[in-house]
Amino acid sequence: MMNTEEQILAAARKVFINKGFDGARMQEIADEAGINKALLHYYFRTKEKLFERIFSESFQLIKPVFNLALGPEPDLHQFIRQFVNAYHALLKQMPFLPQFVLQELNRNPGRMIGLIGKQQIPMNDIKRVIDAEVKKGNISAVSPENLIVNLISLIIFPFVARPVLQEVVFGGDDAAFDNFLNGRSESIIQFFLLALSPEKS
């Protein structure tokens, strides 16, 4: 059984992620948790503090992790395949997290400080790997920055823009969009590797 603090966090998670900081109401969180509103303040003092707790865990959850497979002989193709599959699967579990985090970050970029740590993306390592692969003739030339942004864009954007995309590309068909998402991971990988493959006509 969940204790009170856990109940509050679960309710806060739900409400904050749905409504954002500005749209969330302490009363709604209390109702969702089935407890008295005063308990929110007893356990977390202020709305801001409670929010920070939820935002922090959310950010850590979906912050893309690039610490994979950067040993001496890294396989870029394998890396891309694994990363896309893993990250896409994660987002399917929590489809609203990206929109939530991006929204709050746009509203207040300062929220990021302290949350990134040294987990920064090792751009130099990645650049080294890509340059090596280009030199070996395994891939066509791309700037590492664009490569990484492309990768992340293709994975995340459909989750952020689901309402418009579903309406405008899939005629509002909910099941059709779910179906699209199911094949999406494979499609991204294929598209990406095609774009990277060398020796074009």
Is residue 63 involved in binding DNA (CB under 7 A)? no
Is residue 57 involved in binding a copy of itself (CB under 8 A)? no
> Binding-site residue total for a copy of itself (CB under 8 A)?
59
Is residue 27 involved in binding DNA (CB under 7 A)? yes
Is residue 39 involved in binding DNA (CB under 7 A)? yes
For the chain, report the end-to-end CA distance as a whole number of angstroms. Answer: 63
Q: Which amino acid is at 166?
A: Q
Is residue 195 involved in binding a copy of itself (CB under 8 A)? yes
Is residue 65 involved in binding a copy of itself (CB under 8 A)? no
Among the candidate windows 29-37, 96-104, 144-152, 168-176, which touches DNA by CB under 7 A?
29-37
Q: Closest CB to DNA among 35 and 94?
A: 35
In angstroms, the CA 71 to CA 117 distance is: 22
Q: What torsion, rounded to 10 degrees, do the Cα atoms 69, 74, 77, 83 define?
A: 10
Tokens of 94: 């929590």
**Which helix (H) or strand (E) segment is 93 a member of?**
helix 76-93
Is residue 88 involved in binding a copy of itself (CB under 8 A)? no
Is residue 124 involved in binding a copy of itself (CB under 8 A)? no
In angstroms, the CA 55 to CA 119 distance is: 17
Q: Closest CB to DNA among 12 and 129?
A: 12
Q: How far is CA 150 from CA 153, 163, 167, in A?
A: 5, 21, 24
Among the candidate windows 39-47, 85-93, 128-136, 160-168, which touches a copy of itself by CB under 8 A?
160-168
Place of tokens 């990250």: 87
Cβ atoms 185, 84 nearer than 8 A: yes
Tokens of 105: 């970050």
Cβ atoms 170, 180 nearer than 8 A: yes
Place of tokens 């309710």: 11
Among the candidate windows 6-14, 30-38, 45-53, 185-193, which touches a copy of itself by CB under 8 A?
185-193
Is residue 46 involved in binding DNA (CB under 7 A)? yes
Chain contacts with a copy of itself (rule: CB under 8 A): 19-20, 22-23, 63, 96, 99, 101-103, 105-107, 109, 112, 116, 120-121, 123, 140, 142-143, 145-146, 148-150, 152-154, 156-158, 160-165, 167-171, 180, 183-184, 187-188, 191-192, 194-201
